[in-house]
Amino acid sequence: MTPEPQAKANARPAAKPDITSRGCLRELVNAFYGQVQKDATIGFIFNEIAAVDWDHHLPKMVDFWEAILFRRGNYQGNPLIMHAALARRTPIGKEQFTQWLALFCATVDDLFAGPNATHIKNCARDIADVLHRRINPPPGAVPVVSAVPLASPDVGS
């Protein structure tokens, strides 16, 4: 007699992989910014305020995360200056950072699981905290924004 196929109730969902390579980061970055572009809270900052050139931004973000997670790659840049310049053109406060982080962590969890997946979410949270505190200083403190020269860098057009 042919054995019955295993009952569906016993089937386990396939385990998600961990983030182990630049290819994984590319998948994460593409999926994340796909969500960002459609997002009601922060999408317009990328699409309209900064008018991001995605062909340029996505590989740069893969470089960034490769440097953070694997300590290698070509990332050269200054996220603080970039976001401080952007904050002159549109509010980037608690609400925007919270949404950015929620989307980032949800995208990681959709695709990956494991120590590196946990680590990248913790790094994103720490960096978001630092960026938020530096570009939104408490009343009376000198904002980093005022230290950024008007002409550089270009954020969008």
Chain residues that interact with ligand HEM, rule: CB under 6 A: 42, 45-46, 50, 52, 56-57, 60, 64, 77-79, 82-83, 86, 92, 96-97, 100, 124, 127-128, 131, 155-156
8: which DSSP letter? G
- 71 Ramachandran zone, left/alpha/beta (phi>0; psi -120 to 50): left
- Give 2 or 101: the residue with its C-beta nearer to ligand HEM: 101
Question: At 61, which amino acid appears?
Answer: M
* Nearest-approach distance from CB 77 to ligand HEM, in angstroms: 2
Q: Which residue is nearest to ligand HEM (CB)?
A: 77
* Nearest-approach distance from CB 35 to ligand HEM, in angstroms: 13
Per-residue b/e over 15-51, b at no fewer than 16 CB within 10 Å? Answer: eeebbeebebbbbbbebbbebbeebeebbebbbebbe
* Nearest-approach distance from CB 86 to ligand HEM, in angstroms: 5
Question: At 111, which amino acid appears?
Answer: L
* Nearest-approach distance from CB 54 to ligand HEM, in angstroms: 8
Question: At 104, which amino acid appears?
Answer: F
- Give 26 or 60: the residue with its C-beta nearer to ligand HEM: 60
Instruction: Give the count of beta carbons closer than 10 Å to the beta carbon of residue 85.
Output: 22
Q: Is the peptide bond before 59 cis (omega within 30 degrees of 0)?
A: no
- Give 10 or 76: the residue with its C-beta nearer to ligand HEM: 76
Residue with tokens 């997670």: 69
* Nearest-approach distance from CB 17 to ligand HEM, in angstroms: 22
- Give 19 or 124: the residue with its C-beta nearer to ligand HEM: 124
- Give 82 or 105: the residue with its C-beta nearer to ligand HEM: 82
